[in-house]
Chains A and B, each alone.
Chain A
């Protein structure tokens, strides 16, 4: 260490100081971090780009399964806004006082559909006890893991409604989020999948072969909220932007249901 001469140290110190003061002078507001359910990827990316353009403030996006994101927030991940694909995980965070009071809203919904790879898509007639095994052949039914992924949970409810859950359960792919479940159908690894209508619309490689009636599962309502401790510094404004009439129009364009 003795070989580092004093002038070099001084120069380094000066440089550091210059960098620090420069960033302090022009300091843009720190970026906002949005944790969003995988199914929201496209719409939220578009809204975030729009927000960045309008406000010159950068937005960092993290897409994963709602359960993964909720766990990360529980363990102190620095998210400002959380966009959950269901109410259960938002309630989980709310019970632990991890979302800012009074910010929880449910602005959009979704529908559940069955998809197949485009080149093998044939319409499926849904009725009590429909022959799911014949449709699957030796393949699997691709959906999120019902234990923790919201799309999988809705899928379980719908399959139970049609009395085919017992057949379906051992044949599930149990993907870690709905977009992974979709990808397995896109690549032809699974002959059928259950995903949101918006996911099906986002992909050219799959086609909707059946739509689950609203009565067959709990209403799919997304829950948005500001993470507690982050309700100052623009997070509320961002959430308001994401639920403005313009934003709802964008969500509608991607196929989300506006109640």
Chain B
């Protein structure tokens, strides 16, 4: 029903999305905690800066990534020299692009969750002698689990659909960076590619539906675990 190229695009989409979530979650938890807990000078500015990918055209984000992480960019040159890590034209680069694009969504979800935690719980833990890291790992983190799950799922789905930042930063290479959206774009560009385009679109729809059902199930699971 689907061609090997289409399965490959699906596999790359899933791989990019999974790596993108894995990359962004730790940073997102840290940033969300910073923004939710501690008022500090410049917090509003920092908050705005982290939201930029949400309001910038994805092509702008892709272009900045290319300037910074390209093989002649400051970080890109360093990564390639010291770790032999190349981002342009690679799946890792696609994961980075989608992670940057979906970062604000993850931070938002986790932050909302953290802000809803009763500060009394942490205060009580403190009076019982729990130190900072202990309080974070035994109270804050478990109680923000619904937000982390929701953020992760939103980031995963957003990564599946990302187009502009990916094509600008890592191009459209079959087997490396050609995700479902890019494969769909190529099919649309090709003379008489309509049949393929419809097939890929159908694949995207089923994937999206499966993702939504899974996220609903996970959300219920998390609610049950955390109790009323």
Interface residues of A, Cβ cutoff 8 Å to B: 65, 67-68, 71, 88-89, 92, 138, 140, 145, 147-149, 170, 172-176, 180, 184, 187-189
Contact = CB atoms under 8 A, between A and B. Distances in A.
A174 B171 contact: yes
Contacts of A174: 171-174
B89 interface: yes
B193 to A, nearest CB: 8
Contacts, number: 54
Nearest to B168: A180
17 contacts: A67-B190, A68-B189, A89-B191, A92-B191, A138-B86, A145-B189, A147-B190, A148-B189, A172-B173, A174-B172, A174-B174, A176-B172, A176-B185, A187-B66, A187-B72, A188-B70, A189-B89
Contacts of A176: 167, 172, 185, 189
Interface of B: 66, 70-72, 86, 88-89, 167, 171-175, 185-186, 188-191, 193
A120 B188 CA distance: 36
Contacts of B66: 187, 189
A189 B186 contact: no
Given A145-B172, A174-B173, A174-B174, A188 B189 contact: no
A175 B189 CA distance: 12
B191 A88 contact: yes
A24 to B, nearest CB: 36
Contacts of A188: 70-72
For A67, A138, A172, A174, which residue has the most chain B Cβ atoms within 10 angstroms? A174
Given A148-B190, A189-B89, 15 more contacts: A65-B189, A67-B191, A68-B189, A71-B188, A92-B191, A147-B189, A148-B191, A173-B89, A173-B173, A174-B173, A175-B172, A184-B171, A187-B66, A187-B72, A189-B71
A70 to B, nearest CB: 8
Nearest to B86: A138
Pairs of residues from A and B, 4 with the lowest C-beta to C-beta distance, nearest first: A148-B189, A67-B189, A188-B72, A148-B190
Contacts of B173: 140, 172-174
A147 to B, nearest CB: 5
B21 to A, nearest CB: 26
A65 B167 CA distance: 14
Nearest to A187: B70
A170 B167 CA distance: 18
Nearest to B67: A187
Contacts of A65: 189
A88 B190 CA distance: 11
Nearest to A175: B171
A192 to B, nearest CB: 14
Contact of B171 (A67, A170, A173): A173
